[in-house]
Amino acid sequence: MNNQNNLWKIGVWVGVLLAVFLAVISIKEIKSIAYVGKDRPITNNISVNGTGDAYAIPDIATFSFGVTERGNTVVEAQKKATDRINRALEAVHDEGVADKDIKTVSYSINPHYDYTTGICNEFRCPPGESKLTGYDVSQTIEIKVRDLEKAGGIFAAIGSLGVQNVSGLTFSVDDIDVVKAVARGKAIDQAQNRAKELAKQLGVRLVRVISFYDTSNQIPMAYEANFRDAMSVKSTVPEIPQIPAGEQKVIANVTITYEIR
């Protein structure tokens, strides 16, 4: 008898709990019906902007050089280009540049055609003719110099080795993310201070951040040079140019949106 009573009591409690659970679910469903077809309620918010900057001394110099050689066959053109590139790379290696800081950014092989026009007379002009006269092989190498004191010397030496062009000596910061973080921190501080002041003036309270957006840009200090037609340059190394690296500036802009009450 006692066991039956206990089972009956347990069943009653289970039924009560189930009824309560179903009642809560029903109330939520009934309330949600009121919002069917309607937009979600608008949350009051304010958005503020902040700007910060940071400076760093560049610690990397980057430039590129290339060669273009022509031969009667692809193999001949490739050999000419490879020989000239290897001489330039040997000079770069002699200055202590590591293999990891040397990379090929482009390599191409193209047929070369000469176009001749026919001799016109008073009656007609015969069509011109394209004739395959050889092949052009082009290769461009990018060099990263970590010892800035050697950058000017390497840049000048490469230009004297008969490569067709040397260009784009650009200074940058290797770990630019650290500099960006400093600039972003300043921008966030400025935006937060503006938000607090604006909330005080409006007589509202900042509740929480509901969105955040940031941008940053870096302005590299660049020295541009072009050694066009360097085939005529003498084999002696020219005077080493003075190339100051200067400073690099990073600017961060952030926008923070707060919920207010």
Number of residues written out for the chain: 261
Same domain, 162 and 232: yes
User: Across residues 212-235, what is the average pLDDT?
Assistant: 52
Residue matched to tokens 């990379």: 103
DSSP 148-192: HHHHHHHHHHHHTTT-SEEEEEEEE-TTHHHHHHHHHHHHHHHHH
pLDDT at 206 over 60: yes
Same domain, 148 and 23: no
Whether 209 maps to a domain, the answer reads no
215/180 Cα distance (integer angstroms): 10
pLDDT at 253 over 60: yes
Whether 260 maps to a domain, the answer reads no
pLDDT at 163 over 70: yes
Q: Could you tell me if 211 and 257 are in contact, meaning their C-beta atoms sit under 8 angstroms apart?
A: yes
Number of helices and strands (H, E) in the chain?
4, 8
Same domain, 73 and 165: yes
Whether 202 maps to a domain, the answer reads no
Whether 73 maps to a domain, the answer reads yes
Whether 211 maps to a domain, the answer reads no
Same domain, 149 and 67: yes
User: Across residues 171-197, what is the average pLDDT?
Assistant: 92
The CATH number assigned to the domain holding 133 equals 3.30.70.2970
Whether 229 maps to a domain, the answer reads yes
Same domain, 37 and 117: no
Same domain, 68 and 113: yes
Q: Which residue segment(s) compose the domain that 29 sits in?
A: 1-41
Residue matched to tokens 């029903």: 26
220/48 Cα distance (integer angstroms): 29
- In terms of pLDDT, which residue wins out, 219 or 72? 72
Q: What is the pLDDT of residues 56-112, one digit of tens each?
A: 888 898 889 999 999 999 999 999 999 999 999 998 998 889 999 999 999 999 999
Whether 217 maps to a domain, the answer reads no
